[in-house]
Structure formats: structure tokens, C-alpha cells
Amino acid sequence: MPRTVRSIQRVQTIARVLSHHGFGFLVQNLHLDRYVPLPKRWRRLPAKPAADPEQALGRRLVQVCKELGPTFIKLGQMLSTRPDLIPPDIIKELITLQDQVPPFDTAVARRMIAADLGITVEEGYASFESRPFASGSIAQVYRATIKDVGEQSARRVVVKVKRPDIEDVVRLDMTILRWIAELAERMMPDAIPFQPRMIVDEFEAKLLREMDFINEAATISHFSEAYGPDPYFRAPQVYWELTGPGVLTLEEIEGTSMQKILATDDPSIDRPLLARRLMQAFIRQFFEIGLFHADPHPGNLLIEAPARIGIIDFGLTGRIDDVLLGHLVIALAGALNREPEVIVEVLADMNALGEATDRAQLRREFMEAIEKYYGLPLERFDMQAMYYEVNNLIRRNDVTLPREFVLFGKALICIGGISLQLDPKLDLVALVKPKLRTLIMERLTPARMAKSALISGWHMINILKSAPGLLRDISRRMARGKWQVNIRHQNLDYLANEIDRASNRLGFSVIIGAVIVGSSWVVSSGNNTPVFGLPIQALGMIGYLVAGIMGIWLLIAFLRSGRLS
């Protein structure tokens, strides 16, 4: 981590907030306390008591994220999408995180639009509201209208404007988070199963993409083109001439929020038809388009009678490439046909199994979960409970799923749950199974298998072609005595740090003992010779005082380390 004034001040803030909310052990174990000024280092604020430790932990994490600002709020939101790594009670608290912050001045937003688009607000928009209707940690959103030459009526749009200087804040926080993640894996072996470096790398890639609105515009445009001819499912149109890295202009989609549809019994809404269309739209996203909306909660779905669906807020999306689709189809087919060994083999092919994974135990637990839900009456089917149960199973058995796989599961469960609320008699398996069968048959066609064989043969030819040269290089290195074996150690830096701290404390203790012995000798001597105008016995008393202060300092260090036993 670069030791600039800004970075050190930010680490001090992080350490102080963590300690304030009961995470002082993290500050100690990661040695972040050395960045805290000495007067503040000895102040320990009491942790807030709570009945349920895991729920208390989740609430405290939420408070930490809120106090540390936009980057950490986004990190908490991202962690809430990883139930394969984070316990469900903590996720339930993290889901409540909202990145609503006070808006910045609209005059600043107008200047940013002009700088990003090269035209003024008046030149680009027929009207532009003076206040944003939504304000988040990355951007704020305005309502506006646009009107082309010759048009009689203006079209309603929403304009998303990025916050000024947000990129500098995020990049500083990401530098510190990467450094903390490396410290955690090196100094806290218990943190390794949570894979902090993988989480931070995944989070950084997602957040940097989210801050460039061109990426979001391209994703929305892909959805809009894919559903262009569909009269029952709509994604907003992107106005590219009014879109840039810091400004995004989209068509405003009208409709009633799905939250209201679920809460009321509107006779104009055909609920069974709406449920079926919703599931079919997302099945198409998963298995045909290869790009899906990963956060389809009711607030992001807008409905027009009788059963027309609009979707908004594309901040979280997932992609399914051909390889992942193959794994996904086989795993789902294995679950539907009650073949847990197929699921385990798919996880192995994805390199998702950890060193501690017991395959036999994993198969047994998958079989128990499948038997529990197979044939269950639809009115008794709780998709969210099943989702958390499967993720607990995965976490217990040291399985780490790819991010897209987890997002797929989250989106499928969310849409399935909404569809069952709309129509409790909807048979989800009957909707999914034909698509899976079609995809499996497509992968077994002669043309598809010939293509796979051709690609595999090309890889094999390249291996055979390069093998003689590689063997020749290896033999030459061995002949020259330059063959090396690299050994990677783990946690020895942590051991060295602990030995260093212990030796420092031991040396400090020896000095205290020497000062006490010397002071005792001076005080007990009968010599009355003055030194610096003071009796020599007074110097002995000063030595006692210095030794006492040093001893209290050392005792406080012992108490703060929490390692007296």
C-alpha cells in the first residue's frame, strides 16, 4: 500500500470504525492499530450486546459499511449476493444496505453533463428537472424529456449522472482493500475459507465496470435488442447520443411496481399469465441470450395490464458463456433426475471443490436435499428456504462456486418465488425441463460434437507440436544445473511478526528489570553525593517512576493483545 497521507488517514478511519463496532480483534490481528495515533490507540469502545451473535455480527457489518462510505456499501451489497461464502443470517442484514446518500448540487450535474457530452443540458434535452428523484453512492438520477426535430410530443427519459470525484475515492479504497485482503490471508488462517482476495478482485472488477456508464448502456442495449420484437417484455432503450462514461440517458418505462401487484388484488392483471410470461422471459435470458438480470426483485419489475413486463436497474447482471451453460444444464438435469453424483462431477469439472471436500459426503447431502423437495406440493414449496439450505450445504463442504453460477441461482430463486406468489399452481419444473432437454439434445447433435472434436484435436496437435521443444529446454536446464524448485511458504510472515513482537516485549521487560535493580542499588547505597544538584537517592526514585510507567505501558499492551492465557 502506498504510504501517502490520504491512504494512512483512510486506514486510520477504517481501523477506528472497525474497533468502534466490535471488530477490534481484526484491527489487532491485521496490525492496523499501528496506523492509529497513540492517544486514540488506547481508547476501546465497548461492543454493543446482542442476543443472537450472527445477527449482531450482520448488523455491526452494516453499520461499518454505512460509516465507511460508498465503496464499503457496495462491498456489503456484493457480499449479500454470495450465500456460498457468507452465512444466511449475515446476508439477511447486508441485504438491507441501501446506498441512498444526499444529492450533490444540480449545477454540478449540469456541468458534468456538458463536459461529458460536449453539449449543454438545454441543447440536449427539451426539459430537465431541477432535483434528482434518486441519489446513490455512485450517481444520481433525474427525469427529463427529449424531442427530435419534427416530433409533436416529447419523450420521457431518465438521466443518470456520475458523482464528481467518486473514482478517486473508490480507487483509494480498492488499494486499501486489496492490501487488507492480502494481510487477512497471510496473518489470519481462519479467513482463508472466505477467500478475501478473490472477493476483493471480483468486487473491484464489478465496481469499475459499474462506474463506466458505457458498460451499463451496452448491457441494457443488448437486452433491448434481444427483446425488441417481444410485445410482452420490455427493456429501456438507450439514447447513445446522450450517453457517455459519466452520463446515461434511458427511456423511462411506465408501469405499476410488482411490489404493489403482489400486495393488492388488481382485477386488470392476469396473474397466472403474468407468472408464466415472467418465468419464460428469464428462462430465455438464462439459456438463449446468455445475459441475465441478476437482481430481479419486485421493485425492478414494472407491470402493465393485463400481463406486460418492463424491467429496470441493470446494475447487477450475469453472463453465461457456452462452457458455463453446459455445466449449468447438466447440473440442473442431475437435480431434476435425482442424480447427485452428476452434480458433484459438474462441480469437480468447474474446479469448485476444495481440498477439504469429501465427495461421498457431498453426494449424500445433495441426495438428502433433493429427496426433501422432490414431489413436494407446490403450495408448500419455499424456494428461498431451499436456496439458503443448498448454499449452507455448499459452504459446509468447502465448495466455491463461480460468481455467475451464484448469480444465476439467486435470480432463478427470486423470479421463481415471485411467479409462485402470482400463481401458486404454476409448475416451474414443467417450464424448465423441456428447455433443458432441448439444450442437451443440441449438444449431442453430430455437428456440435464434430465441432468439439475439432477444437480438442487442435489443442492436442498444439501440445504434441510444442512437447519436443519443451522437453529439450528442460533437459538443457538440468544439464547446466539451473533446474530450480520453488517452495512457497504460508503464514511464516505472521510467525516472524509474532516472534519479533515477543522479542521486543522481552527486551522491554529486561530493560524495566535493569532500571528497577539499578534504582534499588542507588537508593540503598549510603552515598550522598549530589548529581545535577539532586541527592543520588532522588535519581533512584526517578528510576522507579520510569520503570513503573514502562511497566504499566507493557501491561496495557498485554491486555490489549488478549493473549494472557
Catalytic residues: 295
CA distance 339 to 342: 6
Cα-based angle 25, 29, 31 (whole degrees, multiple of 5)? 115
Cell triple for 370: 433433493
Buried-exposed string 173-209: b where 16+ CB fall within 10 A, e elsewhere: bbbbbbbbbebbbbbbeebeebbbbebbeebbebbee
CA distance 296 to 299: 8
Q: Phi and psi dihedrals of 253, rounded to 5?
A: -90, 135
Q: Shortest CA distance to 161 belongs to which of 138, 145, 130?
A: 138
Cell triple for 511: 530493560
Query: What are the DSSP calls for 48-91, one per residue?
Result: PP-SSHHHHHHHHHHHHHHHH-HHHHHHHHHHTT-TTTS-HHHH
For residue 334, how many other CB atoms are within 10 A of its CB? 19
Q: Shortest CA distance to 501 belongs to which of 34, 185, 179?
A: 34
Classified as helix, coil or strand, 533 is: coil
Alpha helix segments (H runs only) across 285-358 = 322-336, 340-349
Q: Shortest CA distance to 270 belongs to which of 304, 229, 310?
A: 304
Give 475: exposed, middle or buried? Use CB within 10 Å, 0-12, 13-18, 19+: exposed
Contact residues for 211 (Cβ-Cβ < 8 A; gap 6+): 138, 162, 166, 167, 170
Cell triple for 237: 432503450
Cα-based angle 443, 331, 204 (whole degrees, multiple of 5)? 100
